[in-house]
Amino acid sequence: MGQAESQVTPETDNLIWVMPTEGYTQKARMHGSCLKMAGSRFFHPQKGLLSTTIGGKAYPFSTPPIGGAAADWGHHLLSLNKNNASTKETETMKTALSIAGSDSSGGAGIQADLKTMTMNGVFAMSAITALTAQNTTGVRAISEVTPDFLAQQIDAVFEDIFPDAVKIGMVASIGLIETIAERLRFYQPQNIVVDPVMVATSGARLISEDAVDTLKRELLPLATVVTPNIPEAEILSGRTIRTAEDMIAAAEHISTAYGCAVLCKGGHAINDANDLLCANGTIRWFHGKRIDNPNTHGTGCTLSSAIASNLAKGDTLETAVQRAKDYISGALGDMLDLGKGNGPMNHAFDLTGRFRD
C-alpha cells in the first residue's frame, strides 16, 4: 500500500482545511512540536484541541501556532491505510476510560470498572489515582500516585485511543482532582460520569475533607452526570436527606449549582432501590426492586461505569441509566458469595461462550 498525499490549503486567514485523498483514512503523527492526534481529534501540545469535526472530507483547524504558511504544514500530516472501496468498513468498538483507585480485592474501583465496561460492550482503559490494600472486610492502606504521573496516564490514553466516555471514581486529594479537571478541559471528552466516592461500603473514608470543595468546584461543572448516594448527596448539597422529597430537593440543588445532571441513588434505608435523575430541570424516578444480597461491594463503581459505557455507545442519559440499573440488578441477583465481609458482585453474570467453562 502506498501513501497518499494530504492536500492542505489555506481557506481563510484563520483556518486551514485538511482534505484526505479519496479512499484514504486520514491520520496524523506527532512531528516535533506540531500536531498530535487522538482518535479523530487533533491537538497541539500547548494549544490543546484544534479540531472537533469528525467525518466528512474537511477538518477545520485553528491557525498553526508555529510560524509558516498553512501549506508548510502538509509534511506533518501523513495519510495511511488505504481503504478498499469495495469492502464495507467495520464499526469501531466504542471506548471508555476509568479514572479511579485500584481495589486489590477486585470488587470495586478500577477493577470493577474494567469488568463492567467490558461486559457492557466497550473497550475499557484506566488511569489509576491511588493504590489501595483492601479486601471485603475493609481498607488497610492507601497510596496515591503523584499528580504528574496521573496526568501522564491520562495523556497516554487520550493521545492514542480517544475515549467515548470517561468515568471518574475515587480521587482523594486536591492535587489529583485539579490534574483531572485540567486534562479533561484540555481534551474535552463528550461524556463524563462523576461518581463522587467519599466513603467506602465498609465505612472507610476515601477522600480528604478539604478536597470535597475542590471536587465540587473543579469536576462537577465538567460532568454529564454525577452519581451520589444518599450520604454523598448530603455532602454535595449541604442538605439532610430523610425522604423522597429530600432527595428531589438535594438533586435539584446540585444540578442547579453545578450545571450537571444528577442521579441520586436510593438505598441507605431511603426509598428502597429507587433512584432519582434530575436533568435539565426534569425529574424522573427509576424504580427498582431491592435484591436481598448482603454482598454489595462496588455497587456505586459498577453503576457509574455501566452508565459511562452506555453513553459511550450513544444511548441517551435516561436509557443509559435504565440499562445500567438492569445490569447491576443482574450482577447482584447472581448471588455471588466471596470473602469474609461485604463481598463483590458477579460482573460476569451474563458471560457466555466456550472460554467460560
Active-site residues: which are they? 265, 296, 298-301
What whole-number distance in Å separates Cα of residue 84 and Cα of residue 248?
54
The residue among 263, 270, 303 whose CA lies nearest residue 286 is 263
What whole-number distance in Å separates Cα of residue 101 and Cα of residue 150?
11
What whole-number distance in Å separates Cα of residue 186 and Cα of residue 118?
27
Q: Which H or E run includes 132?
A: strand 123-135
The residue among 296, 217, 312, 304 whose CA lies nearest residue 265 is 304
What whole-number distance in Å separates Cα of residue 57 and Cα of residue 151?
33
Largest CA distance in the chain: 67
The residue among 206, 265, 207, 208 whose CA lies nearest residue 241 is 265
- Is 57 exposed, middle or buried, given 0-12, 13-18 or 19+ CB atoms closer than 10 A? exposed
Radius of gyration of the chain (CA): 22
What whole-number distance in Å separates Cα of residue 339 and Cα of residue 83?
51
In the chain, the amino acid numbered 307 is: I
The grid cell for 278 is: 434530575
Q: On the CB side of 21, how many CA atoms lie within 13 Å of its CA?
A: 15
What whole-number distance in Å separates Cα of residue 120 and Cα of residue 118?
5
